[in-house]
Amino acid sequence: MGNNILVRIFNFYYQGFRNMTVGKKLWLIIFIKIFIFFFIIKLLFFPDFLKTKFRTDRERGNYVIEQLTK
Amino acid sequence: MIDSIDLSLVNWSRGQFALTAFYHWFFVPLTLGITFIIAIMETIYVRTGDESWKKITKFWMTLFGINFAIGVATGLIMEFEFGTNWSNYSWFVGDIFGAPLAIEGIMAFFLESTFIAVMFFGWNKVSKKFHLLSTWLVAFGASLSALWILVANAWMQYPVGMQFNPDTARNEMIRFWDVLFSPVAVNKFLHTISSGYVLASVFVVGVSGWFLLRRRNILFARRSMIVASIFGILSSIHLIATGDGSTRQIARIQPMKLAAIEGLYHGQEGTGLVVFGIMVPSEEDPVNENIKDFVFRIEIPNLLSYMSYGNREAFIPGVIDLLEGSEQRGLLSAAEKIERGKYAREVLRELKEADQNNDLTRYESLKATFMDDQFKNEYFRYFGYGFIDDPDKLIPNVPLSFYSFHFMVALGFYFLLFFILTLIFVYTGSIERRKGFQRLALLTIPLAYLATMLGWTVAEMGRQPWVIQDLMPTFAAVSRLDANTVQVTFWLFLIVFTALLIAEVKIMTKQIKIGPNEGGN
């Protein structure tokens, strides 16, 4: 019974994706976009500033306090 | 360190964030509003069984799908920027931002993977009523998803429900419900989603106008116009009402913003509302870019006082009053706030020093100071003023705030009139021969986008120099990066987002040209 429901859910999505028309182009855009965002922009240009400079939260906190009080 | 910050870094960081926020927001309001219009159309289909309503529903659903797909994940860029470009800010806000954004992410995931799938894949596979339920859930879910980021933004305008931890330099959320249900958050949410509903209504009426211009799909266009204009009228009324609510809040919470958007320099009792005005450099201080005079203005006497405090004679402080202060009016001067902010910063510095020197007695004493209500209310609340060296820097860009606000309000009233006329013309049967109005409907679409962007300009530029009201100025929030790196990513984003925008417009116009008879999903 449980298996049957899973198969039906799988088929629902499978048939849905197969029968898409405009949607296929849109999914391609989504995948390209996600790739650019996460694998180019995030990795190359957007490291977490405090995480890459400091190892612990205490160090990060001290740095920010230093920034805010000097 | 803060004193020596590179202003070009601050400006490029702000420009980059504004660019990404504007592009992200280009996609959001249509999704917020068109889902409700689709849900209403599908409800009519389910209740009447009329197949033409199903075609209408599917057509607008396809346009929603295009907008949703191109826009999805564009907001993630801003989260990248928080961690990279705005690290001081991100650290300082602590979990106030993290919690709402996490809820938004989880909600969006479940919404997108389940009910949107039923919306697009479920025709003839699930019952009509379950499909309709899914459509309504997508509509409500989209607006609810927007709630969380708007709560976070409202906290920046009106920080409540938190306690500053001087050991970590983070604000910790101590009253979640105060953050969620702060009056600013509630009003901002209602006002912003209403603007999305109005934009989507304009979009539907405008695209329908295009079909009428082409003399195609007349019944489809007329029916779409009826649903969108009724939804648009109700949304416009709500938009105006919540805008009025914003005025009352700004008067109490961000009086400098109110003064800026009204171009009010010298406060007075019984202040009038400027309906229209043209600003020129002031004769008193022609060098100061933020001090302007009106060369011409139309004003409704006493209205701003009444809108702000429900009293026609109430005193509304102007920019100069807020800088100079007034004991009689209970206004602290900017100089006094700056002194208090500097003291709060100094206490934080001494606490850190005592901690590093293992001076436990002094550390405990200073820590107790931070927990003291009097210190919190009279000093720490002005923490951000401690960074300001010149009171003039507390004035936002007055002309930009003034013109953005007035143009936005004018457009808001224009949209209401536009929807009323649409409804009248459809019901009287004259809409098909009114070519001028059909063209106007099409031209109104970019005006709706402009209005919603102006709204964000007012909200964000009007509250400068603050990134968190009174607690953190924008220049203190940025990471110490090389300004050239920020410039590179600015241009990169401009290219990527412009490409997405072009893709959106091209795919959508192609789908509109195909029309409602073909549908597609």
For A6-28, the pLDDT digits (tens) are: 888 888 888 888 887 888 888 88
SS in 3 state form for A19-65? CCCHHHHHHHHHHHHHHHHHHHHHHHHCCCHHHHHCCCHHHHHHHHH
State the amino acid at position B106 in one-letter form.
I
Residue B112 CA, distance from chain mean position:
23
Looking at residue B79, what is its pLDDT?
84
Q: Are B174 and B164 in contact (CB under 8 A)?
A: no
Higher pLDDT, B185 or B521: B185
Token representation of residue B240: 């105006």
* Residues B171 and B202 reside in one and the same domain: yes
* Residues B466 and B440 reside in one and the same domain: yes
pLDDT at B519 over 60: no
- Domain span at residue B303 reads 268-316
pLDDT at B204 over 70: yes
Read off the pLDDT of residues B207-239 as tens digits, 9 standing for 90 and up: 999 999 999 999 999 999 999 999 999 999 999
State the amino acid at position B416 in one-letter form.
L
Domain count, chain B: 2
- The A-side interface with B (CB below 8 A) comprises 12-13, 15-17, 19-23, 25-27, 29-30, 33-34, 36-37, 41-42, 45-51, 57-58, 60-62, 64-70
Looking at residue B471, what is its pLDDT?
95
For residue B381, the 8-state DSSP code is G
Looking at residue B34, what is its pLDDT?
97
Give the C-alpha separation, A26 to B70, whole Å: 7
* Residues B149 and B185 reside in one and the same domain: yes
Higher pLDDT, B70 or B110: B70
| Partner residues linked to B279 by β-bridges | B294
Is residue B24, in this structure, part of any structural domain at all?
yes
pLDDT at B69 over 90: no
For residues B160-170, give the mean pLDDT. Answer: 91
pLDDT at A2 over 80: no
List all residues of chain B from 189 to 248 with a beta carbon under 8 Å from chain A: none
Looking at residue B112, what is its pLDDT?
67
Give the C-alpha separation, B420 to B430, whole Å: 14
Question: Closest to B88 (Cβ–Cβ): which among A25, A34, A64?
Answer: A64
With pLDDT > 90 as the criterion, what percentage of chain B qualifies? 70
Token representation of residue B403: 């013109």
Q: Are A24 and B67 in contact (CB under 8 A)?
A: no
With pLDDT > 70 as the criterion, what percentage of chain B qualifies? 96
Which of the four pLDDT bands, split at 50, 70 and 90, describes residue B4? low
| Distant-in-sequence, close-in-space partners of B83: CB < 8 Å, separation ≥ 6 | A46, A47, A48, A49, A50, A51, B90
- Mean pLDDT of all residues in chain B? 91
For residues B185-191, give the mean pLDDT. Answer: 95
For residues B84-89, give the mean pLDDT. Answer: 92
Give the C-alpha separation, A37 to B489, whole Å: 12
Token representation of residue B290: 């933020």
Read off the pLDDT of residues B136-158 as tens digits, 9 standing for 90 and up: 999 998 888 888 889 999 999 99
Q: Could you give phi then psi for residue B325, rounded to 5 degrees? A: 75, 165
Looking at residue B255, what is its pLDDT?
95
Give the C-alpha separation, B164 to B170, whole Å: 6
State the amino acid at position B234 in one-letter form.
L
Interface contact B488, partner A, CB < 8 A: yes
Which of the four pLDDT bands, split at 50, 70 and 90, describes residue B104? confident
Residue B256, classed as helix, strand or coil, is: helix
Looking at residue B105, what is its pLDDT?
74
- Mean pLDDT of all residues in chain A? 85
pLDDT at B63 over 90: yes
Structural Rg of chain A based on CA atoms:
23
Q: Are B419 and B236 in contact (CB under 8 A)?
A: yes
List all residues of chain B from 88 to 117 with a beta carbon under 8 Å from chain A: 88, 90-92, 117
* Residues B183 and B312 reside in one and the same domain: no
* Residues B205 and B274 reside in one and the same domain: no
* Residues B143 and B279 reside in one and the same domain: no
Looking at residue B5, what is its pLDDT?
62
Which of the four pLDDT bands, split at 50, 70 and 90, describes residue B386? very high
Q: Are B278 and B297 in contact (CB under 8 A)?
A: yes
CA distances from A60 to A52, A63, B79, B173, B476 (A): 10, 5, 19, 19, 16
Give the C-alpha separation, B12 to B19, whole Å: 10
B80·A42 Cβ contact <8 A: yes
User: Residue ranges per domain, chain A?
Assistant: 2-69
pLDDT at B517 over 90: no
Stretch among B46-50, B223-227, B381-385, B488-492 having the lowest mean pLDDT = B488-492
For residues A47-60, give the mean pLDDT. Answer: 90
Residue B165, classed as helix, strand or coil, is: strand
Token representation of residue A26: 């849109």
Looking at residue B433, what is its pLDDT?
93
Read off the pLDDT of residues B398-449 as tens digits, 9 standing for 90 and up: 999 999 999 999 999 999 999 999 999 999 999 999 999 999 999 999 999 9
For residues B487-496, give the mean pLDDT. Answer: 90
* Residues B235 and B312 reside in one and the same domain: no
Cβ atoms < 10 Å from Cβ of B102 = 12
Burial letters B441-470, b for 16+ CB under 10 A, else e: bbebbebbbebbbbbbbbbbbbbbbbbbbb
Question: Closest to A23 (Cβ–Cβ): which among B65, B85, B125?
Answer: B65
Which of the four pLDDT bands, split at 50, 70 and 90, describes residue B470? very high
Residue B235 CA, distance from chain mean position:
16
For residues B58-72, give the mean pLDDT. Answer: 91
Give the C-alpha separation, B494 to B497, whole Å: 5
Looking at residue B286, what is its pLDDT?
65
Residue of B nearest to A19 (CA): B521
DSSP, residue by residue, B349-402: HHHHHHHHTT-HHHHHHHHHHHH-HHHHHHTGGGGGGGG-S-GGGGS--HHHHH
* Residues B64 and B164 reside in one and the same domain: yes
CA distance A30 to chain B (A): 6
Token representation of residue A36: 């650019």
Last residue of one domain, picked from the residues B292, B316, B340: B316
Q: Is B240 left (phi over 0), alpha (psi -120 to 50) or beta?
A: alpha
* Residues B289 and B413 reside in one and the same domain: no
pLDDT at A57 over 80: yes
pLDDT at B59 over 70: yes
Does the bond joining B516 to the residue before it have cis omega, within 30 degrees of 0?
A: no
Cβ atoms < 10 Å from Cβ of B305 = 22
ipTM: 0.85
* Residues B447 and B302 reside in one and the same domain: no
| Distant-in-sequence, close-in-space partners of A43: CB < 8 Å, separation ≥ 6 | none
Looking at residue A70, what is its pLDDT?
82
| Partner residues linked to B277 by β-bridges | B297
Give the C-alpha separation, B14 to B216, whole Å: 46
Token representation of residue B41: 């159309």
Q: Are B426 and B226 in contact (CB under 8 A)?
A: yes
Give the C-alpha separation, B20 to B259, whole Å: 28
Angle between helices B51-71 and B7-48 (to 10 degrees): 160
Last residue of one domain, picked from the residues B283, B300, B316: B316
Token representation of residue B159: 């920080």
List all residues of chain B from 54 to 83 with a beta carbon under 8 Å from chain A: 62, 65-66, 69-70, 72-73, 76-77, 80-81, 83
H or E element in which residue B276 lies? strand B273-281
